[in-house]
Amino acid sequence: MSKRVRSIVVLISGRGSNLAALVDYAQNSPDFVVAGVVSNRADAPGLAFASSQGIPTEVVDHALFGSREAFEHALAGVVDLFKSDAVVLAGFMRILTPSFVNRYAGRLINIHPSLLPAFPGLNTHERALEAGVRVHGATVHLVTAQLDHGPILDQAVVQVHENDTPEALARRVLELEHRMLPRAVSAFLHGKLKAKGERVPGALRLPLLTALSTTVAPE
Ligand code: GRF
């Protein structure tokens, strides 16, 4: 593979802490650059952060379009301006149609705060606690037309504690997301994570990021 610097465009809707983790990683390693950030919300705090780092930003406000297709047509036009190797959904809160997903097939990456295929969709931390699972976590995966589904690039695992709250669990998961996402994106861009059908065999060779305790809680 050539020495050309790989680049990504990051799609966000809000806070942008995963975006910040990607930018931090990119600034400290020659692995890839963040070419641009696109948000569907003009007030997304992640946009101000990107600008403060000198990264070009664009807003495509979904509320200004009459249909999902029209929004995505405009979104794709902006995403394509950045001519990136991969498109990373980092807290991008719009459901994408198969047509958009197919346009970026094989290079569209999402981070989801659960151990997929468990808990696709919203409120994953609440749902994990309600289900009584012992372990929870996050997944980085290639996007397919099915929501929160697709070849798994990496997963990180946290232990559920006695008296855990969704907020506390979310904090612990997010900490691992910030370590996992840049690492997975870098490995993907450098050909170390390639999908073979539904699976990404190389994913199993990445050291597993965990926040697990071996101590047993007293009865
Ligand atoms: C993260 O938990 C991510 O997994 C999910 O949305 C959240 C985005 O947080 N898709 P942030 O905007 O990156 O801080």
Those residues whose C-beta lies under 8 Å from the C-beta of residue 162, and which sit 6 or more positions away, are: 217
| 212 membership: H or E segment, kind and range | none
Same domain, 98 and 164: no
Same domain, 34 and 83: yes
- Show the ligand 1 pocket: residues with CB < 6 angstroms: 12, 14-19, 90-91, 111-113, 138, 174, 177
Same domain, 215 and 162: yes
Report the share of the chain in percent with pLDDT over 70.
96
Task: Please state whether the peptide bond connecting residue 201 to the residue before it is cis, i.e. omega within 30 degrees of 0.
Answer: no
CA 216 to ligand 1 centroid distance, Å? 30
Same domain, 93 and 119: no
Same domain, 138 and 64: no
CATH code of the domain covering residue 48:
3.40.50.170
What is the per-residue DSSP string for 29-61? SSSEEEEEEEES-TT-HHHHHHHHTT--EEE--
Same domain, 79 and 170: no
Cβ–Cβ under 8 Å, residues 10 and 22: yes
Average pLDDT of the chain to the nearest whole number: 96
Using the 3D structure, point to which of 63, 81, 104 is the last residue of a domain.
104
SS3 assignment, position 20: helix
Those residues whose C-beta lies under 8 Å from the C-beta of residue 164, and which sit 6 or more positions away, are: 129
CA 70 to ligand 1 centroid distance, Å? 25
The pTM of the full predicted model, rounded to 2 decimals, is: 0.96
Residue minimizing CA distance to atom 9 of ligand 1: 91
pLDDT of residue 16: 98
> For the chain, which residues score pLDDT lower than 50?
none
Catalytic residue among 112, 125, 141, 178: 112
Nearest alpha carbon to residue 179 among 138, 124, 123: 138
SS3 assignment, position 105: coil
Q: How many domains does the chain have?
A: 2
CA 19 to ligand 1 centroid distance, Å? 9
Which of 18, 23, 43, 89, when mutated, tests ligand 1's pocket best, judged by the most ligand atoms within 8 Å of its CB? 18
pLDDT of residue 4: 85
Whether 125 is catalytic is no
Q: Is the dihedral of CA 77, 80, 86, 91 positive or negative?
A: negative
Q: What is the pLDDT of residues 89-147, one digit of tens each?
A: 999 999 999 999 999 999 999 999 999 999 999 999 999 999 999 999 999 999 999 99
**Owning domain of residue 3:** 1-104
Using the 3D structure, point to which of 52, 79, 104 is the last residue of a domain.
104
Same domain, 125 and 216: yes
Same domain, 150 and 63: no
User: Using CA atoms in the order 39, 41, 43, 44, what is the torsion angle rounded to 10 degrees?
Assistant: -40
pLDDT of residue 167: 98
CA 219 to ligand 1 centroid distance, Å? 35
